[in-house]
Structure 1
Protein backbone atom coordinates (compact mmCIF):
# COMPACT_ATOMS: atom_id res chain seq x y z
CA UNK A 1 0.00 0.00 0.00
CA UNK A 2 2.83 2.36 0.86
CA UNK A 3 4.52 1.78 -2.50
CA UNK A 4 1.23 2.48 -4.33
CA UNK A 5 0.85 5.80 -2.49
CA UNK A 6 4.42 6.78 -3.27
CA UNK A 7 3.95 6.01 -6.95
CA UNK A 8 0.67 7.95 -7.10
CA UNK A 9 2.01 11.14 -5.51
CA UNK A 10 2.77 13.98 -7.92
CA UNK A 11 6.35 15.13 -8.10
CA UNK A 12 5.50 18.79 -7.54
CA UNK A 13 6.90 21.53 -5.32
CA UNK A 14 4.60 23.21 -2.81
CA UNK A 15 1.91 25.46 -4.30
CA UNK A 16 3.11 28.44 -2.27
CA UNK A 17 6.56 28.11 -3.90
CA UNK A 18 4.97 28.23 -7.35
CA UNK A 19 2.84 31.26 -6.46
CA UNK A 20 5.87 33.08 -5.10
CA UNK A 21 7.92 32.31 -8.21
CA UNK A 22 5.17 33.39 -10.63
CA UNK A 23 4.52 36.67 -8.82
CA UNK A 24 8.23 37.47 -8.47
CA UNK A 25 8.81 36.67 -12.15
CA UNK A 26 5.93 38.89 -13.23
CA UNK A 27 7.05 41.84 -11.11
CA UNK A 28 10.79 41.05 -11.21
CA UNK A 29 10.71 42.02 -7.55
CA UNK A 30 10.43 40.02 -4.34
CA UNK A 31 9.05 43.09 -2.56
CA UNK A 32 6.19 43.63 -5.00
CA UNK A 33 5.44 39.91 -5.08
CA UNK A 34 5.18 40.00 -1.28
CA UNK A 35 2.74 42.90 -1.44
CA UNK A 36 0.55 40.98 -3.89
CA UNK A 37 0.58 37.74 -1.89
CA UNK A 38 0.20 39.52 1.46
CA UNK A 39 3.35 38.15 3.05
CA UNK A 40 6.87 39.36 3.81
CA UNK A 41 9.66 39.86 1.33
CA UNK A 42 11.69 37.30 3.29
CA UNK A 43 8.94 34.71 2.85
CA UNK A 44 8.93 35.20 -0.92
CA UNK A 45 12.71 34.91 -1.03
CA UNK A 46 12.63 31.71 1.05
CA UNK A 47 9.95 30.11 -1.13
CA UNK A 48 11.80 30.92 -4.33
CA UNK A 49 15.02 29.60 -2.81
CA UNK A 50 13.23 26.36 -1.87
CA UNK A 51 11.98 26.03 -5.45
CA UNK A 52 15.50 26.55 -6.76
CA UNK A 53 16.72 23.84 -4.41
CA UNK A 54 13.99 21.55 -5.73
CA UNK A 55 15.41 21.96 -9.25
CA UNK A 56 19.02 22.39 -8.14
CA UNK A 57 19.12 25.32 -10.55
CA UNK A 58 18.74 29.08 -10.12
CA UNK A 59 15.53 30.64 -11.44
CA UNK A 60 16.62 34.25 -11.00
CA UNK A 61 19.73 36.33 -11.30
CA UNK A 62 19.83 38.61 -8.25
CA UNK A 63 21.04 41.98 -9.51
CA UNK A 64 21.69 45.12 -7.49
CA UNK A 65 18.87 46.85 -9.36
CA UNK A 66 16.37 43.96 -9.28
CA UNK A 67 15.70 40.45 -10.53
CA UNK A 68 16.27 38.86 -13.91
CA UNK A 69 14.97 35.45 -14.96
CA UNK A 70 17.53 32.81 -15.86
CA UNK A 71 17.00 30.64 -18.93
CA UNK A 72 15.49 27.97 -16.68
CA UNK A 73 13.17 30.49 -15.04
CA UNK A 74 12.10 31.88 -18.42
CA UNK A 75 11.26 28.39 -19.68
CA UNK A 76 9.37 27.45 -16.49
CA UNK A 77 7.23 30.59 -16.14
CA UNK A 78 4.62 30.16 -18.95
CA UNK A 79 3.56 26.71 -17.81
CA UNK A 80 3.26 27.74 -14.18
CA UNK A 81 1.30 30.90 -15.03
CA UNK A 82 -1.14 28.87 -17.14
CA UNK A 83 -1.50 26.22 -14.42
CA UNK A 84 -2.31 28.84 -11.78
CA UNK A 85 -4.85 30.46 -14.10
CA UNK A 86 -6.55 27.10 -14.63
CA UNK A 87 -6.54 26.35 -10.90
CA UNK A 88 -8.07 29.75 -10.20
CA UNK A 89 -10.79 29.27 -12.83
CA UNK A 90 -11.62 25.79 -11.53
CA UNK A 91 -11.85 27.10 -7.96
CA UNK A 92 -14.14 29.96 -8.98
CA UNK A 93 -16.32 27.47 -10.83
CA UNK A 94 -16.68 25.28 -7.73
CA UNK A 95 -17.58 28.33 -5.66
CA UNK A 96 -20.28 29.28 -8.14
CA UNK A 97 -18.40 32.29 -9.53
CA UNK A 98 -17.78 32.77 -13.22
CA UNK A 99 -14.22 32.82 -14.48
CA UNK A 100 -13.19 36.10 -16.06
CA UNK A 101 -14.95 36.34 -19.41
CA UNK A 102 -13.90 39.85 -20.32
CA UNK A 103 -10.77 41.58 -21.55
CA UNK A 104 -10.03 45.26 -21.02
CA UNK A 105 -7.85 46.91 -23.66
CA UNK A 106 -6.31 50.36 -23.39
CA UNK A 107 -5.51 51.63 -26.89
CA UNK A 108 -5.03 54.88 -28.80
CA UNK A 109 -8.31 56.28 -30.09
CA UNK A 110 -6.88 56.15 -33.62
CA UNK A 111 -6.08 52.44 -33.33
CA UNK A 112 -9.55 51.68 -31.99
CA UNK A 113 -11.41 53.63 -34.68
CA UNK A 114 -9.14 53.03 -37.68
CA UNK A 115 -8.13 49.38 -37.18
CA UNK A 116 -9.76 47.58 -34.28
CA UNK A 117 -13.34 48.61 -35.06
CA UNK A 118 -13.02 47.04 -38.53
CA UNK A 119 -11.54 43.77 -37.32
CA UNK A 120 -13.10 43.15 -33.91
CA UNK A 121 -15.97 41.12 -35.36
CA UNK A 122 -13.47 38.37 -36.11
CA UNK A 123 -12.51 38.02 -32.45
CA UNK A 124 -16.13 38.17 -31.31
CA UNK A 125 -17.09 35.45 -33.78
CA UNK A 126 -14.29 33.19 -32.53
CA UNK A 127 -14.97 33.95 -28.84
CA UNK A 128 -18.62 35.00 -28.53
CA UNK A 129 -18.68 34.74 -24.72
CA UNK A 130 -15.76 37.10 -24.11
CA UNK A 131 -16.74 40.70 -23.46
CA UNK A 132 -14.31 43.28 -24.85
CA UNK A 133 -13.95 46.54 -22.94
CA UNK A 134 -12.13 49.35 -24.74
CA UNK A 135 -10.48 52.35 -23.11
CA UNK A 136 -9.71 54.75 -25.98
CA UNK A 137 -6.81 57.05 -25.18
CA UNK A 138 -5.24 60.23 -26.49
CA UNK A 139 -1.55 60.32 -25.52
CA UNK A 140 -1.97 58.62 -22.10
CA UNK A 141 -4.56 56.55 -20.22
CA UNK A 142 -5.19 57.70 -16.61
CA UNK A 143 -6.77 54.31 -15.85
CA UNK A 144 -4.17 52.11 -17.51
CA UNK A 145 -3.84 49.96 -14.37
CA UNK A 146 -7.37 48.64 -15.04
CA UNK A 147 -6.43 47.26 -18.46
CA UNK A 148 -5.36 43.69 -19.17
CA UNK A 149 -3.54 44.85 -22.32
CA UNK A 150 -2.28 48.21 -23.56
CA UNK A 151 -1.58 49.07 -27.20
CA UNK A 152 1.45 51.36 -27.38
CA UNK A 153 3.79 52.70 -30.05
CA UNK A 154 7.26 51.63 -28.89
CA UNK A 155 10.78 51.29 -30.19
CA UNK A 156 11.09 47.62 -31.28
CA UNK A 157 14.69 47.62 -30.04
CA UNK A 158 13.61 48.70 -26.54
CA UNK A 159 10.17 47.14 -25.94
CA UNK A 160 8.42 47.02 -22.58
CA UNK A 161 8.50 43.80 -20.56
CA UNK A 162 6.30 41.17 -22.18
CA UNK A 163 5.44 43.39 -25.16
CA UNK A 164 4.35 41.69 -28.41
CA UNK A 165 5.17 43.64 -31.57
CA UNK A 166 2.27 44.09 -33.97
CA UNK A 167 3.71 44.37 -37.45
CA UNK A 168 5.89 47.19 -38.76
CA UNK A 169 4.90 50.78 -39.36
CA UNK A 170 5.81 52.92 -42.34
CA UNK A 171 5.75 56.69 -42.56
CA UNK A 172 3.09 57.41 -45.15
CA UNK A 173 2.12 60.83 -46.50
CA UNK A 174 -1.54 60.98 -47.52
CA UNK A 175 -3.79 63.62 -49.03
CA UNK A 176 -7.19 64.02 -50.67
CA UNK A 177 -7.42 62.75 -54.28
CA UNK A 178 -7.55 66.24 -55.81
CA UNK A 179 -4.36 67.32 -54.03
CA UNK A 180 -2.81 64.01 -55.02
CA UNK A 181 -3.52 64.66 -58.72
CA UNK A 182 -1.52 67.88 -58.48
CA UNK A 183 1.56 66.11 -57.10
CA UNK A 184 4.52 65.44 -59.34
CA UNK A 185 6.43 62.21 -59.75
CA UNK A 186 8.65 63.24 -56.84
CA UNK A 187 7.88 65.27 -53.69
CA UNK A 188 8.29 68.99 -54.23
CA UNK A 189 8.29 71.94 -51.85
CA UNK A 190 5.96 74.02 -54.03
CA UNK A 191 3.25 71.36 -54.09
CA UNK A 192 3.70 70.54 -50.40
CA UNK A 193 3.53 74.11 -49.11
CA UNK A 194 0.58 75.07 -51.33
CA UNK A 195 -1.65 72.48 -49.63
CA UNK A 196 -3.30 72.65 -46.24
CA UNK A 197 -0.94 70.94 -43.79
CA UNK A 198 -2.65 68.85 -41.11
CA UNK A 199 -0.45 67.99 -38.14
CA UNK A 200 -0.96 65.15 -35.66
CA UNK A 201 0.28 66.40 -32.32
CA UNK A 202 2.09 63.96 -30.09
CA UNK A 203 5.45 62.42 -29.31
CA UNK A 204 6.41 62.00 -32.98
CA UNK A 205 5.93 64.85 -35.44
CA UNK A 206 5.47 62.70 -38.53
CA UNK A 207 4.74 65.48 -41.03
CA UNK A 208 7.94 67.27 -40.04
CA UNK A 209 9.82 63.97 -40.19
CA UNK A 210 8.54 63.25 -43.72
CA UNK A 211 9.49 66.75 -44.94
CA UNK A 212 12.96 66.40 -43.44
CA UNK A 213 13.51 63.05 -45.16
CA UNK A 214 12.51 64.62 -48.49
CA UNK A 215 14.68 67.73 -47.91
CA UNK A 216 11.62 69.98 -48.06
CA UNK A 217 11.66 73.26 -46.14
CA UNK A 218 8.25 73.79 -44.58
CA UNK A 219 6.87 77.23 -45.51
CA UNK A 220 3.08 76.79 -45.73
CA UNK A 221 1.00 79.25 -47.68
CA UNK A 222 -2.12 78.40 -45.65
CA UNK A 223 -2.71 78.22 -41.91
CA UNK A 224 -2.16 74.67 -40.73
CA UNK A 225 -4.58 72.46 -38.79
CA UNK A 226 -3.43 70.60 -35.69
CA UNK A 227 -5.29 67.54 -34.41
CA UNK A 228 -4.61 65.56 -31.24
CA UNK A 229 -5.05 62.17 -32.93
CA UNK A 230 -4.47 60.57 -36.32
CA UNK A 231 -8.12 59.60 -36.83
CA UNK A 232 -9.18 63.24 -36.73
CA UNK A 233 -6.34 64.34 -39.01
CA UNK A 234 -7.21 61.72 -41.62
CA UNK A 235 -10.92 62.56 -41.59
CA UNK A 236 -10.15 66.26 -41.97
CA UNK A 237 -7.89 65.54 -44.93
CA UNK A 238 -10.60 63.40 -46.54
CA UNK A 239 -13.44 65.88 -45.97
CA UNK A 240 -11.74 69.28 -46.24
CA UNK A 241 -8.64 68.45 -48.26
CA UNK A 242 -5.03 68.65 -47.21
CA UNK A 243 -1.89 66.70 -46.44
CA UNK A 244 -1.01 64.73 -43.33
CA UNK A 245 1.47 62.00 -42.36
CA UNK A 246 0.58 58.99 -40.22
CA UNK A 247 1.59 55.42 -39.47
CA UNK A 248 0.68 53.01 -42.25
CA UNK A 249 -1.75 50.95 -40.12
CA UNK A 250 -3.85 54.06 -39.53
CA UNK A 251 -3.88 55.07 -43.20
CA UNK A 252 -4.79 51.65 -44.61
CA UNK A 253 -8.60 51.92 -44.55
CA UNK A 254 -8.59 55.42 -46.10
CA UNK A 255 -6.27 54.29 -48.88
CA UNK A 256 -8.25 51.13 -49.64
CA UNK A 257 -11.50 53.12 -49.84
CA UNK A 258 -9.95 55.77 -52.09
CA UNK A 259 -10.95 58.61 -49.77
CA UNK A 260 -7.24 59.45 -49.46
CA UNK A 261 -4.23 58.67 -51.63
CA UNK A 262 -0.54 58.21 -50.96
CA UNK A 263 1.05 59.92 -54.01
CA UNK A 264 4.58 58.79 -53.13
CA UNK A 265 3.94 55.28 -51.87
CA UNK A 266 4.17 53.67 -48.47
CA UNK A 267 7.33 55.39 -47.29
CA UNK A 268 10.15 54.23 -45.04
CA UNK A 269 9.86 51.96 -42.01
CA UNK A 270 9.47 53.99 -38.82
CA UNK A 271 11.64 53.47 -35.72
CA UNK A 272 8.46 52.71 -33.74
CA UNK A 273 5.83 49.99 -34.04
CA UNK A 274 2.60 49.14 -32.30
CA UNK A 275 2.96 46.70 -29.41
CA UNK A 276 0.48 44.86 -27.21
CA UNK A 277 1.74 45.12 -23.63
CA UNK A 278 0.27 42.91 -20.87
CA UNK A 279 -0.41 44.47 -17.47
CA UNK A 280 2.56 43.38 -15.38
CA UNK A 281 0.63 43.87 -12.14
CA UNK A 282 -1.48 40.75 -12.69
CA UNK A 283 -1.40 37.37 -14.38
CA UNK A 284 -2.67 37.38 -17.93
CA UNK A 285 -6.20 35.99 -17.87
CA UNK A 286 -7.26 33.39 -20.40
CA UNK A 287 -9.53 35.96 -22.08
CA UNK A 288 -6.65 38.42 -22.40
CA UNK A 289 -4.31 35.70 -23.68
CA UNK A 290 -6.84 34.74 -26.37
CA UNK A 291 -7.22 38.39 -27.40
CA UNK A 292 -3.44 38.82 -27.58
CA UNK A 293 -3.11 35.65 -29.65
CA UNK A 294 -5.81 36.86 -32.06
CA UNK A 295 -4.31 40.35 -32.31
CA UNK A 296 -0.78 39.13 -33.09
CA UNK A 297 -2.18 36.84 -35.80
CA UNK A 298 -4.21 39.67 -37.36
CA UNK A 299 -1.20 42.02 -37.43
CA UNK A 300 1.76 39.69 -38.03
CA UNK A 301 5.30 40.99 -37.62
CA UNK A 302 6.13 40.33 -41.27
CA UNK A 303 3.46 41.75 -43.57
Structure 2
Protein backbone atom coordinates (compact mmCIF):
# COMPACT_ATOMS: atom_id res chain seq x y z
CA UNK A 1 0.00 0.00 0.00
CA UNK A 2 1.38 3.40 -1.03
CA UNK A 3 2.15 5.65 1.94
CA UNK A 4 -0.17 8.64 2.07
CA UNK A 5 1.35 12.14 1.90
CA UNK A 6 1.26 14.16 5.13
CA UNK A 7 -2.12 15.69 5.99
CA UNK A 8 -0.69 19.22 5.90
CA UNK A 9 0.29 18.70 2.27
CA UNK A 10 -3.18 17.42 1.42
CA UNK A 11 -4.81 20.39 3.16
CA UNK A 12 -2.58 22.76 1.19
CA UNK A 13 -3.56 21.08 -2.08
CA UNK A 14 -7.28 21.08 -1.28
CA UNK A 15 -7.32 24.76 -0.29
CA UNK A 16 -5.14 25.89 -3.21
CA UNK A 17 -7.12 23.81 -5.73
CA UNK A 18 -10.41 25.22 -4.46
CA UNK A 19 -9.32 28.86 -4.38
CA UNK A 20 -6.78 28.61 -7.22
CA UNK A 21 -4.54 30.81 -5.12
CA UNK A 22 -1.60 29.95 -2.86
CA UNK A 23 -2.14 33.26 -1.06
CA UNK A 24 -5.83 32.59 -0.36
CA UNK A 25 -5.02 29.04 0.72
CA UNK A 26 -2.44 30.41 3.15
CA UNK A 27 -4.93 32.85 4.64
CA UNK A 28 -7.44 30.03 5.10
CA UNK A 29 -4.95 27.68 6.76
CA UNK A 30 -3.17 30.35 8.78
CA UNK A 31 0.23 30.05 7.07
CA UNK A 32 2.19 32.05 4.54
CA UNK A 33 1.91 31.83 0.79
CA UNK A 34 5.48 30.50 0.75
CA UNK A 35 4.53 27.67 3.12
CA UNK A 36 1.66 26.62 0.84
CA UNK A 37 3.94 26.75 -2.18
CA UNK A 38 6.55 24.60 -0.43
CA UNK A 39 3.97 22.00 0.66
CA UNK A 40 2.61 21.78 -2.87
CA UNK A 41 6.10 21.28 -4.28
CA UNK A 42 6.82 18.53 -1.76
CA UNK A 43 3.50 16.89 -2.61
CA UNK A 44 4.20 17.04 -6.34
CA UNK A 45 7.66 15.54 -5.74
CA UNK A 46 6.11 12.72 -3.70
CA UNK A 47 3.48 11.98 -6.37
CA UNK A 48 5.84 12.44 -9.29
CA UNK A 49 3.40 14.68 -11.16
CA UNK A 50 2.58 18.37 -11.34
CA UNK A 51 -0.77 19.32 -9.82
CA UNK A 52 -0.85 23.00 -10.81
CA UNK A 53 0.08 25.09 -13.81
CA UNK A 54 1.70 28.29 -12.52
CA UNK A 55 0.69 31.31 -14.59
CA UNK A 56 2.15 34.81 -14.01
CA UNK A 57 -0.82 35.93 -11.88
CA UNK A 58 -2.98 32.85 -11.47
CA UNK A 59 -3.10 29.08 -11.05
CA UNK A 60 -4.90 26.31 -12.85
CA UNK A 61 -5.09 22.60 -12.17
CA UNK A 62 -3.34 20.07 -14.37
CA UNK A 63 -5.44 17.12 -15.60
CA UNK A 64 -3.94 15.05 -12.77
CA UNK A 65 -4.89 17.71 -10.21
CA UNK A 66 -8.44 17.92 -11.57
CA UNK A 67 -8.83 14.14 -11.45
CA UNK A 68 -7.49 13.89 -7.88
CA UNK A 69 -9.40 16.80 -6.31
CA UNK A 70 -12.80 15.04 -5.94
CA UNK A 71 -11.15 12.23 -3.97
CA UNK A 72 -9.54 14.73 -1.62
CA UNK A 73 -12.86 16.56 -1.14
CA UNK A 74 -14.58 13.25 -0.35
CA UNK A 75 -11.84 12.26 2.09
CA UNK A 76 -12.14 15.48 4.11
CA UNK A 77 -15.94 15.24 4.05
CA UNK A 78 -15.80 11.65 5.38
CA UNK A 79 -13.40 12.63 8.14
CA UNK A 80 -15.74 15.46 9.18
CA UNK A 81 -18.84 13.27 9.03
CA UNK A 82 -17.15 10.40 10.88
CA UNK A 83 -15.95 12.71 13.62
CA UNK A 84 -19.46 14.08 14.11
CA UNK A 85 -20.99 10.58 14.14
CA UNK A 86 -18.55 9.21 16.72
CA UNK A 87 -18.01 12.23 18.95
CA UNK A 88 -21.11 14.29 18.18
CA UNK A 89 -21.25 18.05 18.27
CA UNK A 90 -21.44 19.92 21.52
CA UNK A 91 -23.87 22.72 22.19
CA UNK A 92 -20.84 24.94 22.81
CA UNK A 93 -19.82 24.59 19.16
CA UNK A 94 -21.04 27.71 17.37
CA UNK A 95 -22.87 27.77 14.07
CA UNK A 96 -20.36 29.14 11.58
CA UNK A 97 -21.75 31.49 8.94
CA UNK A 98 -19.40 32.84 6.29
CA UNK A 99 -20.18 35.78 4.03
CA UNK A 100 -18.81 39.07 2.77
CA UNK A 101 -18.50 42.03 5.16
CA UNK A 102 -20.97 44.14 3.16
CA UNK A 103 -23.71 41.50 3.44
CA UNK A 104 -22.98 41.13 7.16
CA UNK A 105 -23.32 44.87 7.68
CA UNK A 106 -26.19 45.73 5.34
CA UNK A 107 -28.40 42.64 5.14
CA UNK A 108 -27.49 40.08 7.78
CA UNK A 109 -27.10 42.25 10.90
CA UNK A 110 -30.80 42.93 11.66
CA UNK A 111 -31.80 39.35 10.82
CA UNK A 112 -29.06 37.89 12.99
CA UNK A 113 -30.02 40.10 15.93
CA UNK A 114 -33.64 38.95 15.62
CA UNK A 115 -32.50 35.32 15.53
CA UNK A 116 -30.31 35.88 18.59
CA UNK A 117 -33.21 37.36 20.55
CA UNK A 118 -35.36 34.35 19.66
CA UNK A 119 -32.59 31.76 20.27
CA UNK A 120 -30.11 33.29 22.75
CA UNK A 121 -28.61 29.91 23.62
CA UNK A 122 -27.35 29.29 20.06
CA UNK A 123 -23.88 30.68 19.49
CA UNK A 124 -23.18 32.01 16.00
CA UNK A 125 -19.70 32.67 14.62
CA UNK A 126 -19.37 35.00 11.64
CA UNK A 127 -16.45 34.59 9.26
CA UNK A 128 -15.67 37.25 6.67
CA UNK A 129 -14.82 36.31 3.09
CA UNK A 130 -14.07 38.96 0.50
CA UNK A 131 -14.04 36.54 -2.41
CA UNK A 132 -16.50 33.66 -2.76
CA UNK A 133 -15.04 30.19 -2.30
CA UNK A 134 -16.24 26.74 -1.38
CA UNK A 135 -16.54 25.23 2.08
CA UNK A 136 -13.09 24.54 3.49
CA UNK A 137 -11.86 21.34 5.13
CA UNK A 138 -13.29 22.47 8.46
CA UNK A 139 -16.44 23.67 6.73
CA UNK A 140 -18.79 26.54 7.32
CA UNK A 141 -22.24 25.47 8.46
CA UNK A 142 -23.85 28.15 6.29
CA UNK A 143 -22.59 30.66 3.77
CA UNK A 144 -23.93 33.58 1.79
CA UNK A 145 -22.21 33.52 -1.59
CA UNK A 146 -22.31 35.76 -4.61
CA UNK A 147 -22.65 34.28 -8.08
CA UNK A 148 -25.07 32.48 -10.37
CA UNK A 149 -25.94 29.68 -7.95
CA UNK A 150 -24.23 27.05 -10.08
CA UNK A 151 -22.28 25.26 -7.34
CA UNK A 152 -22.16 21.49 -7.03
CA UNK A 153 -22.62 19.57 -3.79
CA UNK A 154 -24.56 22.31 -2.00
CA UNK A 155 -28.13 23.39 -1.30
CA UNK A 156 -28.66 26.99 -2.36
CA UNK A 157 -31.55 29.43 -1.88
CA UNK A 158 -31.55 32.74 -3.76
CA UNK A 159 -31.84 35.92 -1.72
CA UNK A 160 -33.68 37.42 -4.70
CA UNK A 161 -32.96 39.19 -7.95
CA UNK A 162 -30.22 41.82 -8.06
CA UNK A 163 -29.70 45.08 -9.93
CA UNK A 164 -26.90 47.64 -9.85
CA UNK A 165 -27.32 51.41 -9.52
CA UNK A 166 -25.11 54.42 -8.76
CA UNK A 167 -25.22 55.93 -5.26
CA UNK A 168 -23.47 58.89 -3.67
CA UNK A 169 -23.69 61.50 -0.93
CA UNK A 170 -26.63 63.94 -1.18
CA UNK A 171 -24.32 66.93 -1.68
CA UNK A 172 -22.72 65.31 -4.71
CA UNK A 173 -26.07 64.09 -6.08
CA UNK A 174 -27.34 67.69 -6.22
CA UNK A 175 -25.18 68.29 -9.30
CA UNK A 176 -26.13 65.10 -11.14
CA UNK A 177 -29.19 65.57 -13.34
CA UNK A 178 -28.40 63.00 -16.04
CA UNK A 179 -25.74 60.28 -16.52
CA UNK A 180 -23.58 62.57 -18.70
CA UNK A 181 -23.08 64.76 -15.61
CA UNK A 182 -20.85 62.02 -14.17
CA UNK A 183 -18.02 63.23 -16.42
CA UNK A 184 -15.16 64.40 -14.26
CA UNK A 185 -16.52 62.81 -11.09
CA UNK A 186 -14.68 59.98 -9.33
CA UNK A 187 -16.18 56.57 -10.05
CA UNK A 188 -15.76 54.05 -7.23
CA UNK A 189 -15.24 50.56 -8.60
CA UNK A 190 -15.71 47.29 -6.69
CA UNK A 191 -14.08 44.53 -8.71
CA UNK A 192 -15.39 41.02 -9.21
CA UNK A 193 -18.96 41.70 -10.38
CA UNK A 194 -20.47 40.94 -13.78
CA UNK A 195 -22.13 44.37 -13.96
CA UNK A 196 -19.63 47.19 -13.47
CA UNK A 197 -19.41 50.85 -14.40
CA UNK A 198 -18.77 50.24 -18.15
CA UNK A 199 -21.97 48.16 -18.39
CA UNK A 200 -24.10 50.66 -16.47
CA UNK A 201 -22.78 53.63 -18.48
CA UNK A 202 -23.44 51.80 -21.73
CA UNK A 203 -27.03 51.10 -20.66
CA UNK A 204 -27.36 54.78 -19.68
CA UNK A 205 -26.40 55.87 -23.20
CA UNK A 206 -22.98 57.29 -22.31
CA UNK A 207 -20.70 54.37 -23.19
CA UNK A 208 -17.03 55.02 -22.51
CA UNK A 209 -17.65 57.87 -20.08
CA UNK A 210 -15.56 56.03 -17.47
CA UNK A 211 -12.47 57.04 -19.46
CA UNK A 212 -13.22 60.67 -18.62
CA UNK A 213 -13.60 60.08 -14.89
CA UNK A 214 -11.04 59.62 -12.10
CA UNK A 215 -11.29 56.16 -10.54
CA UNK A 216 -10.76 54.48 -7.20
CA UNK A 217 -10.88 50.67 -7.24
CA UNK A 218 -11.52 48.50 -4.18
CA UNK A 219 -11.81 44.76 -3.69
CA UNK A 220 -15.06 45.08 -1.73
CA UNK A 221 -18.22 47.19 -1.59
CA UNK A 222 -17.79 48.09 2.08
CA UNK A 223 -15.01 50.45 1.08
CA UNK A 224 -16.70 51.89 -2.02
CA UNK A 225 -19.85 52.66 -0.01
CA UNK A 226 -17.75 54.20 2.78
CA UNK A 227 -15.91 56.42 0.27
CA UNK A 228 -19.21 57.41 -1.32
CA UNK A 229 -20.71 58.35 2.06
CA UNK A 230 -17.75 60.69 2.64
CA UNK A 231 -18.34 62.44 -0.68
CA UNK A 232 -15.42 60.68 -2.32
CA UNK A 233 -17.24 59.73 -5.50
CA UNK A 234 -20.09 57.70 -6.95
CA UNK A 235 -20.29 53.98 -6.18
CA UNK A 236 -22.08 51.33 -8.22
CA UNK A 237 -23.79 48.99 -5.79
CA UNK A 238 -26.58 46.46 -5.40
CA UNK A 239 -30.10 47.74 -4.81
CA UNK A 240 -30.31 45.38 -1.79
CA UNK A 241 -27.31 47.02 -0.13
CA UNK A 242 -28.32 50.59 -0.98
CA UNK A 243 -31.67 50.12 0.77
CA UNK A 244 -29.77 49.80 4.06
CA UNK A 245 -27.64 52.94 3.55
CA UNK A 246 -29.25 55.94 5.22
CA UNK A 247 -26.48 58.36 4.24
CA UNK A 248 -26.51 57.70 0.47
CA UNK A 249 -28.95 58.58 -2.32
CA UNK A 250 -29.47 57.30 -5.87
CA UNK A 251 -29.13 60.23 -8.32
CA UNK A 252 -30.51 58.28 -11.31
CA UNK A 253 -33.45 55.92 -11.74
CA UNK A 254 -31.66 53.47 -14.05
CA UNK A 255 -30.90 50.08 -12.51
CA UNK A 256 -29.12 47.40 -14.54
CA UNK A 257 -30.21 43.82 -13.71
CA UNK A 258 -27.48 41.28 -12.98
CA UNK A 259 -27.52 37.54 -13.63
CA UNK A 260 -25.46 37.21 -10.45
CA UNK A 261 -26.87 37.46 -6.97
CA UNK A 262 -26.54 36.50 -3.32
CA UNK A 263 -27.37 32.95 -2.23
CA UNK A 264 -27.81 31.28 1.13
CA UNK A 265 -25.81 28.05 0.88
CA UNK A 266 -25.11 24.96 2.97
CA UNK A 267 -23.32 21.67 2.20
CA UNK A 268 -25.63 19.22 0.53
CA UNK A 269 -24.07 15.95 1.64
CA UNK A 270 -23.66 16.19 5.37
CA UNK A 271 -26.37 16.18 8.03
CA UNK A 272 -26.91 19.64 9.46
CA UNK A 273 -26.81 20.18 13.20
CA UNK A 274 -30.06 21.24 14.83
CA UNK A 275 -28.66 24.70 15.64
CA UNK A 276 -27.51 25.18 12.05
CA UNK A 277 -30.88 24.05 10.70
CA UNK A 278 -32.67 26.54 12.96
CA UNK A 279 -30.62 29.45 11.61
CA UNK A 280 -31.08 28.23 8.03
CA UNK A 281 -34.85 27.99 8.44
CA UNK A 282 -34.98 31.41 10.13
CA UNK A 283 -33.19 33.08 7.24
CA UNK A 284 -35.19 31.23 4.58
CA UNK A 285 -38.50 32.07 6.25
CA UNK A 286 -37.39 35.69 6.39
CA UNK A 287 -36.83 35.64 2.62
CA UNK A 288 -40.35 34.33 2.10
CA UNK A 289 -41.66 37.14 4.31
CA UNK A 290 -39.69 39.71 2.30
CA UNK A 291 -41.18 38.47 -0.98
CA UNK A 292 -44.68 38.49 0.49
Query: Is 2:260 the counterpart of 1:272?
Result: yes
Match of 1:108 among 86, 91, 100: 100
* Matched residues, number: 215
Write the distance in 2 (CA, Å) between the matches of 1:273 and 1:35.
27
Query: Is 2:195 the counterpart of 1:153?
Result: no
Question: For the Cα contact (< 8 Å) 2:132–2:145, is it kept in 1?
Answer: no
| Aligned pairs for 1:1-303 within 5 A | 32=74, 36=78, 98-99=90-91, 102-140=94-132, 144-145=136-137, 146-155=139-148, 158=150, 160=152, 161-184=154-177, 187-189=178-180, 191-216=181-206, 217-254=208-245, 257=246, 259-265=247-253, 267-280=255-268, 282-300=270-288, 302=291
Question: For the Cα contact (< 8 Å) 1:150–1:279, is it kept in 2?
Answer: no
Gaps of 5+ in 1: 1-27, 39-84
Q: Flag the structure with larger Rg.
A: 1
Query: Please, which moves more after superposition, 214-223 or 143-152?
Result: 214-223
Question: For the Cα contact (< 8 Å) 2:168–2:231, is it kept in 1?
Answer: no
Query: Normalising by the residue count of structure 2, what TM-score does the alignment of the two structures yield?
Result: 0.64
Q: Measure how far apart 1:37 and its partner are.
A: 8.0
Gaps of 5+ in 2: 1-69
CA separation of 1:270 and 1:302: change in aligned 2, threshold 3 A: farther
Write the distance in 2 (CA, Å) between the matches of 1:121 and 1:34.
33
Give RMSD over aligned pairs. 3.3
Question: For the Cα contact (< 8 Å) 1:106–1:134, is it kept in 2?
Answer: yes
Deviations 1:209-266 (A, max 9, x none): 2112212222454531111101110010011331111112221211xx2x11112237
Write the distance in 2 (CA, Å) between the matches of 1:292 and 1:35.
20
